[in-house]
Amino acid sequence: MLAHAVYFALHDRSPEARGRLVASCREHLTQHPGTVFFSAGTVADYDRHVNDRDFDVALLIVFDSRASHDAYQTAERHQRFIAENATGWAKVRVFDADVE
């Protein structure tokens, strides 16, 4: 399986802007073929020295294979998500990992 974790820092860091991006994740990024797990949410209120809090919204999708992940990357709904939201992103970090 492949875990696809994406961390979005927004230009507008308000709770409303965060909520809109989470809603857009749910609209465009759920139920793609090969999805084993999907979750999207906002940065948790933990202030520990090991926590990286330089993001507003986190997305985690686990795919059954790299092939499913690769198909997702070019899927029309994923591309629409990017087109509709990219201008609001100050920084995006992507972490892909092979998982069992």
| pLDDT at residue 12, as a whole number | 98
Instruction: Return the closest-CA partner of residue 7 out of 23, 26, 21.
Output: 21
Nearest to 88 by CA among 1, 17, 3, 16: 17
Closest among 78, 68, 55, 50 to 6, alpha carbons compared: 55
pLDDT of the residue at 11: 98
Give this prediction's pTM.
0.94
Domains of the chain: 2-45+52-98 (3.30.70.100)
Q: What's the pLDDT at 51?
A: 84
Q: How far apart are CA 32 and CA 30, in angstroms?
A: 6
Looking at residue 59, its pLDDT comes to: 98
How far is CA 16 from its chain centroid? Answer: 17
